[in-house]
Structure 1
Amino acid sequence: MGHSAPVSNGTTSNGSPSMGNGLAKHNSSIMRVSLPGTTLYDDPYLDREEFVRLVIQSLRDVGYIESAATLEAESGYSLEAPEVSEFRQHILRGAWANAEPLLVQLGVTDEDALLDARFLIGKQKYLELLEARKTTAALQVLRNDLAPYSTMSEQEELHVLSSLMMCSGPEDLRRRASWDGASGTSRRQLLDDLQHYIPSSIMIPQRRFSTLLTQSRLYQRHRCLYHNSPADSTSFSLFSDHMCDMEAFPRITTTILEVHSDEVWNVAWSHDGTHLASASKDKTAIIWRIGLEGEPSSRDCIAEFILRDHPYPVGCLAWSLDDSILSTSADHLILLWNTKTGALMKTLESHAETVSALVWLPDGSGFMSGSLDRKIVLWDMEGELRESWNDVAIRVTDAAVTPDVKRLVAVGMGYNPPPTLGSLSQGQVREPSPPLVSNGTGNSMGPRSSENRMIVYDLKTGQVELSIHMEGELTSVKISEDSRYALINHAPDEIHLWDLQELRLARKFTGQRQGHHVIRSCFGGIDGNFVVSGSEDRNVYVWHRDTGALLEVLEGHGLGSVNSVAWNPRNKRMFASCSDDGTIRVWEAPVPAGELLRGFSIPESEPEMIGKGKGKFKQPWAYNDGVL
């Protein structure tokens, strides 16, 4: 026994009202139930009529048409007035001349609201005529329906709509207008947009019960501090409140990687989650293969390549979008490595000072580098220079690109240029340079300055959208997967969460220690709802992103700072940390009783794992082991 695919508010797929198999003929035989009061149960805030109407709507939405009609008859509550159904069907069928006069009957009486609603209907009509190549009729709609109804705020949109007359065809029109056409979902989207002007008591928003249940799920997820499970029927049930088991949180070290001979300053996972790259003061980077499957004790864990050809300690790491290239930085140099062979592909020397940021663009078009020399450089996939932003306002200490490829967020120190020889008076002695600030990678970060800033750029135009002065050193920045939040390590002893949508400081995370070194934090978990950071007290700290609650302080690393953390992008219950103790730790949920901790060091019998690339060498600078 089949039925047509359910459509919101109980309409069939062709847009006609459906009461279901002739039930209307014997609805009169169903006795109406009269109940005392007007509220649901004993709750004074839940109106019974609203609840029943939502149940009727939900039954129709999922295809139980006869049950919905029976409930209407038994309760005496109608889902909606006839003119509401009529209006909805006119919109879905594109009968614009019949739909527009009904707006006043549906409660749209405010003059401005009426103008806005008519403009939306006229816009849909105009686009559909253009799509059907009826240019003359579309021009008449533009002149007669849109121009008279447009408000001051809509004048710019009116100019954009006018330019669509020049589209080469329907496909070009849909692309330029970001519109999916008359046969797509645009008419249903129009109904959603018109809903803002029609009282919800008259026309119930589509799938309202589903919206309320989604809000309930999001609320429960927000309340679940250890939430790290997928949003499916196994993790969320209507029969019980959601709560993740805190014991499933990755708080146990299951693997210790011990190959580096000195401090490890940075770690980064490949996009497929199967490899981990590490950077060290020992002038090497290592590409590790970390298996995703199996128990920790049996998991494949190999140092595939040790990239030795760095003339200086290695500071930054970044994987290309397809994981075929690993870019590393050593002082002012950028090195590109083939991750399949471990061979050095290219050495780039565009910067004059320490390269402090490497980030591959999410669209796969290349990567960007930032440096203490106040330059941000855009490179293509082959390492050819495409564009250089010179003389930026800060000595860049880190940078990140939003996943939607719209913004570049850079953090750094203000620039205090020293006086030139020509500006010194006769007999005047040049003042000594300001003290150097360590970047935690052994490189000097340049003169200390009170003008520490976060700068948000429009990536396409290079224009500054936001420039915020901050007290204290800014050492790293990460962007959330939804492009909304920027996570900034801020010395002393704070991590700041900036809302890039509202351009405001959303939250501060405290508890960790950072006063002298570069510490790099990250987002973690299946929804990015954890904030994880290293600390100068040798611990790893974990907070709940939306509440700021400190969840875990993880011990295990030896003496020195935990410099960087990285969450596995594929296995959401695994992350890695690296430390001055020369080790990298992989953290996972507690292993079963008797499971042994996995340790790893390079066997002498595997020389083929050593990278063979060549690089330039010069005498390394003097540094102070990452301490001010």
Structure 2
Amino acid sequence: MGGDNDVGQPPLKRQKLSKPSHITPLEGSRTGVVATGSAALMARSIPINDGETVGSHGQIRKVEFVRIIEQALFSLGYQQAGAALEEESGIRLQSPAVQQFREDILAGRWNECVTTLSRIGVLEESTFKAASFLILQQKFLESLQSSNTTAALEILRSEITPLGVSTPKVHQLASFIVCSPQDLLTKAQWKGVGQESRQFLLEELQQLLPPSIMVPENRLEHLVEVALKVQREACVYHNTLDDVLSLYADHRCSRDQIPTQTLQVLEMHDDEVWFLQFSHDGRYLASSSKDCTAIIWEVVEDDSLRVKFKLTGHSKPVSFVAWSPDDTMLLTCGNEEVVKLWDTATGLCKYTYDKPNSCFTSCAWFPDGQRFVSGGGDKCIYMWDLEGHELEAWKGARMPRINDLAITTDGSHMVSICDHKNIRIYNLEEKTERVIEEEKPITSLSVSKNGRYLLVNLVSQEIHLWDISAATRDLPKKYRGHRQGRYVIRSCFGGTDYAFIVSGSEDSQVYIWHRWNGELLDVLSGHSGTVNSVSWNPVNPHMFASASDDHTIRIWGLSNRPKIKKHDEKAGSSNGIDHLVNGGTRDLLENLRPFNSDTD
């Protein structure tokens, strides 16, 4: 390592097709056949029906609407209802030719299939040839599996080759002639003779033929799902465990779906609370403090928290904690001191990691749970195993000071904050590195669960979200409103689908933004000192925790829930992101590199 960021687009309705002069096998495709561009998607002789429409905006053609309803009825098993709708409306889901075509395919009447194909509509020549190729390929493969090699050769020579569709594919089919029946299935990526492979053939043909001829499968369900997805993404307060949305009304969540009320205040630390993080299973919360201790809190039946273990042994304030992937171990970092490994079932220290003149400030686990990395002010990053063996080290004259550290969920990249303003992303497999430069000093970093996004807090009173998977370096999404000029403030992802960004602030408040549109949704009061760290429960989207200089941890929940009665000397909190990393602490910043809003 040198020294010097779940939402996809909806699927296309039709397969994109290329020109016939460039027809080549599709990688990973059994057919390797494509037809021509947009012209191939519509049969010339099928006129677009500009007649009667339905709906308040007149945008839905009645014929199309009725056909997809008929298809939905048939697919749900309501055969009589579908037939009745065809009879009453006079609109058939499929023309007689298409119905005959489907029956011929499923019955394996291959010669009739090609003949019927020419009657279902006037198709572009390339579309007709591509569809014919698929049909004759099935005929060829079924002949081979039946050990009728002579017939298969004749099909290949006199029926498939004259189509002129794909010479490489024809050569590939020819190579199957010497295969055993079992090898044929593997090499051709084929299901064999029977209804399964023929049904798959129908689906492939449907990708080629115009949708007006063969309505795409499950079309009504697809349209409804797209509509629900759009509504859900437009709902800034969507934060529910229920994945099923009602069709009876437009989807819209109210503000009370995000946790905005203090349900519990935890007061077991004797000094400023600097860091906290929920376990991956959401059952525990770990916090660290200037009082030189860390506490493991347990989430109990009523979603309240109580102390499970108080971890002592550090001689300096504890600035960082990190849960192992299976939550059976916990790492704690003293403020420029040692790293300790704890057994979360017993609360006992298993090992203390130290190096001469080391100044550890942060650490991060690998996904195998057998290794972790630590970094700090000594300009070194070390990789350790659980027995204390140093497996690898990154150091040298060009190595910068490490203020924050994380490992992506798949273990492929190490992300660190270096030189105050640089984010370094090191590919552990390829041994390559790229750098993201910020204009202002960075104080903390978190990595999204899928490893795609980086969330960084800056002393310029901004939080930036970087998409590190993008091919081009786009500008980050920015979140503003909180106060941060001198101290380390930590933020995290949270809620259903990690749709929210939450952060502490130097004005003693907690700020919540919508992740995608950047809207500031709420500002929560309650703490009486700087809010240093926040953590959202990864299992319960209605719970997050905040840690403050006022020596307390607050557990936040829905506003319509009753406040939790205080346990005897016990209480709790919870968090929810895959990796949340932060480097220095308040004292570290003040003593080593004070952050001011005008820092270069």
Fold agreement, TM-score > 0.5: yes
SS of the equivalent of 2:54 reads coil
* Pairing 1:279–2:288 present: yes
CA contact 1:108–1:197 (8 Å) conserved in 2: no
Q: Distance in 1 between matches of 2:103 and 2:203?
A: 14
CA contact 1:454–1:470 (8 Å) conserved in 2: no
Task: Indicate which of 302, 305, 327 corresponds to 2:306.
Answer: 302
Q: Distance in 2 between matches of 1:241 and 1:601?
A: 46
CA contact 1:106–1:199 (8 Å) conserved in 2: no
The residue number in structure 2 matching 1:333 is 338
- Match for 2:533: what amino acid? S
- Structure with the greater relative contact order (CA < 8 A, sep ≥ 6): 1 or 2? 2
CA contact 1:567–1:575 (8 Å) conserved in 2: yes
CA contact 1:351–1:371 (8 Å) conserved in 2: no
The residue number in structure 2 matching 1:202 is 213
CA contact 2:51–2:61 (8 Å) conserved in 1: no
Distance apart, 1:219 and its partner CA: 1.8
Query: 1:577-604 CA deviation, whole Å, 9 max, x = no partner?
Result: 11122211111112557x566377479x
Task: Indicate which of 238, 246, 261 corresponds to 1:237.
Answer: 246
Distance apart, 1:80 and its partner CA: 3.2
- Match for 1:62: what amino acid? L
* Pairing 1:517–2:487 present: yes
Distance apart, 1:339 and its partner CA: 0.8
Distance apart, 1:325 and its partner CA: 0.4
* Pairing 1:39–2:53 present: yes
Q: Distance in 1 between matches of 2:400 and 2:196?
A: 46
Written as runs of structure 1 = structure 2, the 5 A alignment for 1:44-55 is 44-55=58-69
- Match for 1:48: what amino acid? K
Q: Distance in 2 between matches of 1:476 and 1:181?
A: 56
Query: 1:295-343 CA deviation, whole Å, 9 max, x = no partner?
Result: x6xx4x3322221112332222111122110011222532110111111
Written as runs of structure 1 = structure 2, the 5 A alignment for 1:485-496 is 485-496=453-464
- Match for 2:295: what amino acid? I
Distance apart, 1:360 and its partner CA: 2.8
Q: 1:41 to 1:343 in 2, by over 3 A?
A: closer
Q: 1:239 to 1:473 in 2, by over 3 A?
A: same
* Pairing 1:548–2:518 present: yes
Q: Distance in 2 between matches of 1:334 and 1:151?
A: 63
* Pairing 1:589–2:552 present: no
The residue number in structure 2 matching 1:70 is 84
The residue number in structure 2 matching 1:570 is 539
Q: 1:249 to 1:471 in 2, by over 3 A?
A: same
Query: 1:417-443 CA deviation, whole Å, 9 max, x = no partner?
Result: xxxxxxxxxxxxxxxxxxxxxxxxxxx
The residue number in structure 2 matching 1:442 is none
Q: Identity across aligned pairs (percent)?
A: 39
Q: Distance in 2 between matches of 1:485 and 1:124?
A: 45
Q: Distance in 1 between matches of 2:211 and 2:499?
A: 33
Q: Distance in 1 between matches of 2:203 and 2:403?
A: 45
- Match for 2:261: what amino acid? I
Q: 1:42 to 1:312 in 2, by over 3 A?
A: closer
SS of the equivalent of 2:430 reads coil
The residue number in structure 1 matching 2:403 is 397
Q: Distance in 1 between matches of 2:166 and 2:360?
A: 51
Distance apart, 1:375 and its partner CA: 4.9
Query: 1:185-236 CA deviation, whole Å, 9 max, x = no partner?
Result: 9987886676554433333222111111111222222222211113345xx2
- Match for 1:323: what amino acid? D
The residue number in structure 1 matching 2:501 is 531
Written as runs of structure 1 = structure 2, the 5 A alignment for 1:4-403 is 37-81=51-95, 109=124, 197-233=208-244, 236-291=245-300, 293-294=301-302, 299=304, 301-330=305-334, 331=336, 333-349=338-354, 353-362=358-367, 364=369, 366-372=371-377, 375-380=380-385, 382=387, 384-388=389-393, 395-403=401-409
SS of the equivalent of 1:558 reads coil
CA contact 1:399–1:408 (8 Å) conserved in 2: no
Q: 1:208 to 1:379 in 2, by over 3 A?
A: farther
Q: Distance in 2 between matches of 1:182 and 1:527?
A: 43
CA contact 1:272–1:570 (8 Å) conserved in 2: yes
Distance apart, 1:96 and its partner CA: 9.2
Q: Distance in 1 between matches of 2:191 and 2:352?
A: 46
The more displaced of 187-196 and 256-265 is 187-196
Q: Distance in 2 between matches of 1:125 and 1:328?
A: 66
- Structure 1 stretches of 5 or more lacking a match? 1-34, 415-447, 604-619
CA contact 2:366–2:411 (8 Å) conserved in 1: no
**Aligned alpha-carbon RMSD (Å):** 4.8
Distance apart, 1:344 and its partner CA: 0.9
- Match for 2:316: what amino acid? Y
CA contact 1:254–1:586 (8 Å) conserved in 2: yes
Output the TM-score relative to the length of structure 2.
Answer: 0.70
The residue number in structure 2 matching 1:17 is none
Q: Distance in 2 between matches of 1:314 and 1:106?
A: 74
The residue number in structure 2 matching 1:417 is none
Q: 1:627 to 1:506 in 2, by over 3 A?
A: closer
CA contact 1:119–1:150 (8 Å) conserved in 2: no
The residue number in structure 2 matching 1:6 is none
CA contact 1:406–1:460 (8 Å) conserved in 2: no
Q: 1:497 to 1:206 in 2, by over 3 A?
A: farther
CA contact 1:334–1:347 (8 Å) conserved in 2: yes
Q: Distance in 2 between matches of 1:305 and 1:489?
A: 30
Q: Distance in 2 between matches of 1:183 and 1:463?
A: 50
Q: Distance in 2 between matches of 1:99 and 1:356?
A: 71
Count of residues paired in the alignment: 509
Query: 1:221-256 CA deviation, whole Å, 9 max, x = no partner?
Result: 2222211113345xx211112222322421111111
The residue number in structure 2 matching 1:579 is 548
- Match for 2:551: what amino acid? G
- Match for 1:302: what amino acid? R
Distance apart, 1:410 and its partner CA: 1.5
CA contact 2:377–2:403 (8 Å) conserved in 1: yes
Q: Distance in 1 between matches of 2:108 and 2:451?
A: 36
Q: Distance in 2 between matches of 1:334 and 1:129?
A: 68
